[in-house]
């Protein structure tokens, strides 16, 4: 049994991530063992929540991650922690499946975050609607951007039978953002001080906290993964240009027997000599395009292993770094590794977003896409992903020799066999 809450809101932009981080840090400072999860596909918010809680943040999604793995992850956290916090995605009922679906599936009560900055008594109508529409079990409310004690009392009175769990005042300094979301924690000089300040400013009702009912998460069996990658060493790019990696992807590769070796293209490091395959995850190559263009040792090494037929898997930012050129947000154009003929250019608007699946001989490999750039290429796609839940055509998947490249971010645990096949040399 563990105290567990799904932190949700009526929409994006209400302050879910800030509130979840503040609550996690506050509970840690009070001596609680806290585990935080993030609903839906996301790389950036989990980094901040990990910094706030001091523990790895994994993904929960009934479609991409799957019911059984979600249950296993929650059960393991329940065995190790005093509190589980789950940050929802978008609005409480948005998406198929939604954060509300996840809460109901595992019996986790919902903590509603509302931006009270421009409302008072209407907060009650909003929260009652959130509770009753599903319905969901509503544990309470955290009111964000509260102006004063009097303001908080008006909000609390409007909630009627739903407790005002906590309030957070308007912030003089907010967490910085860029086009894909929050700025990475390591880029914010005073991030820990900022998190501590948020925790100190989060005023919560201890009696309401003590009254939260514990949640029972039934454990699920752990399936044995075949050693499909036994004896294979996978070189994985990991640095400020390539850091969008699901922890579950690394765990899945290791569970199949792979040895993982990390290296930094941004630091002009060559593909490790012992590598049998290369994995270039997403990230922010557009922010480091000039430096990547000057990383001649990295460029020569990736070209050499490609010419030798070594499997290379490049996702989103990884693919961008393998095009001929990359134009950053200012329009400056930089030479990239040139394994995938074509030009990448940043766009002012979102170019791709949402859950998608890739049909493979081993079944559907699930994942998502989220990018602001576009690739112009004459290379014909070898396949396309399928958008979920609409089932219409999604991202192109390109194959050039031993390279598999796409804007699609695969969640390897959704289909280990299909994931392993990406890193094995073709027998033909």
* 156-201 confidence digits (pLDDT tens): 999 999 999 999 998 766 666 655 555 666 666 788 998 999 999 9
**Helix, strand or coil, per DSSP, at residue 288:** helix
In contact, 325 and 252? CB cutoff 8 Å: no
pLDDT more than 70, % of the chain = 95
CA angle 407, 266, 358 (to 5 degrees): 15
Measured at the CA of 250, the angle between CA 246 and CA 256, to 5 degrees, comes to: 135
CATH of 233-422, one of 3.30.460.90, 3.40.190.150, 3.40.50.880, 3.40.605.10: 3.40.50.880
**pLDDT tens, residue by residue, 34-67:** 999 999 998 888 999 999 999 999 999 999 999 9
Strand partners, 83: 3, 34
Of residues 352, 353, 358, the one with CA closest to residue 414: 358
Q: How far is CA 103 from the centre of its chain?
A: 18
Mean pLDDT of 219-234: 90
The answer to whether 241 touches 292, Cβ cutoff 8 Å, is yes
- Rounded to the nearest integer, the mean pLDDT of the chain is 94
Handedness of CA 263, 269, 271, 275 (dihedral sign): negative
Overall fold of domain 2-215: Rossmann fold (3.40.50)
Decide if 2-215 and 233-422 have a common fold.
Answer: yes
Contacts of 248 (CB under 8 A, 6+ apart): 58, 59, 65, 69, 411, 412, 413
Q: Cβ contacts of residue 354 below 8 Å, gap of 6+?
A: 368, 369, 370, 387, 388, 394
Six token digits for residue 194: 């900022």
Structural contact between residues 257 and 228, judged by C-beta atoms closer than 8 angstroms: yes
Q: Which residue matches tokens 């134009």?
A: 327
* Residues 16, 182 contacting (CB under 8 angstroms): no
pLDDT of residue 25: 97
Burial 38-62 (b: 16+ CB within 10 A, else e): bbbbbbbbbbbbbbbbebebbbbbb
Query: Could you state, in order of their start, the residue ranges of all structural domains in the chain?
Result: 2-215, 233-422
428 — pLDDT class (breaks 50, 70, 90): very low
Q: What is the dihedral of CA 410, 411, 413, 418, to 10 degrees?
A: -10
pLDDT in tens, 57-99: 999 999 999 999 999 999 999 999 999 999 999 999 999 999 9
Residue 385: closest CA among 421, 416, 413, 411: 411
Query: Would you please indicate which residues are annotated as catalytic (active-site) residues?
Result: 316
Quote the tokens at residue 13: 């932009």
Measured distance CA(330)–CA(345) in Å, rounded:
10
């Amino acid at each position: 049994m563990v105290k567990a809450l799904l932190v949700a809101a009526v929409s994006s932009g209400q302050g879910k991530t800030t509130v979840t981080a503040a609550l996690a840090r506050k509970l840690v400072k009070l001596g609680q063992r806290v585990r935080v999860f993030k609903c839906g596909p996301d790389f950036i918010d989990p980094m901040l929540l990990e910094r706030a809680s001091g523990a790895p943040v994994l993904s929960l999604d009934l479609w991409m991650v799957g019911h059984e793995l979600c249950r296993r992850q929650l059960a393991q956290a329940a065995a190790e922690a005093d509190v589980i916090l789950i940050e929802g995605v978008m609005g409480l009922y948005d998406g198929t499946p939604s954060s509300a679906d996840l809460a109901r599936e595992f019996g986790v009560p919902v903590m509603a975050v509302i931006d009270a900055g421009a409302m008072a008594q209407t907060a009650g109508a909003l929260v009652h609607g959130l509770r009753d529409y599903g319905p969901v079990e509503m544990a309470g409310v955290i009111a964000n951007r509260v102006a004063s004690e009097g303001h908080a009392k008006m909000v609390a009175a409007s909630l009627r039978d739903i407790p005002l769990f906590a309030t957070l005042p308007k912030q003089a300094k907010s967490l910085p953002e860029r086009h894909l979301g929050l700025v990475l924690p390591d880029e914010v000089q005073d991030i820990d001080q900022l998190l501590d300040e948020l925790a100190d400013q989060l005023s919560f009702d201890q009696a309401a906290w003590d009254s939260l009912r514990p949640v029972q998460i039934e454990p699920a069996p752990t399936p044995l993964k075949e050693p499909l990658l036994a004896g294979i060493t996978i070189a994985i790019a990991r640095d400020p240009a390539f850091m969008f990696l699901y922890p579950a992807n690394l765990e899945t590769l290791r569970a199949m027997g792979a040895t993982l070796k990390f290296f930094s293209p941004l630091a002009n490091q060559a593909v490790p000599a012992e590598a049998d395959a290369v994995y270039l995850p997403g990230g922010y190559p557009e922010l480091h395009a000039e430096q990547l263009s000057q990383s001649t040792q990295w460029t020569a090494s990736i070209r050499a292993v490609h010419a030798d037929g070594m499997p290379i898997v490049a996702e989103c930012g990884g693919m961008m770094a393998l095009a001929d050129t990359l134009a950053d947000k200012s329009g400056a154009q930089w030479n990239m590794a040139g394994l995938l003929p074509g030009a990448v250019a940043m766009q002012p608007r979102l170019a791709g977003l949402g859950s998608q699946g890739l049909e493979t001989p081993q079944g559907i490999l699930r994942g998502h896409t989220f990018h602001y750039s576009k690739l112009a290429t004459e290379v014909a796609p070898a396949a396309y992903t399928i958008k979920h839940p609409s089932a219409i055509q999604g991202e192109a998947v390109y194959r050039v020799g031993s390279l598999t490249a796409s804007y699609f971010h695969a969640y390897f645990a959704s289909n280990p066999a299909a994931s392993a096949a990406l890193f094995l040399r073709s027998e033909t």
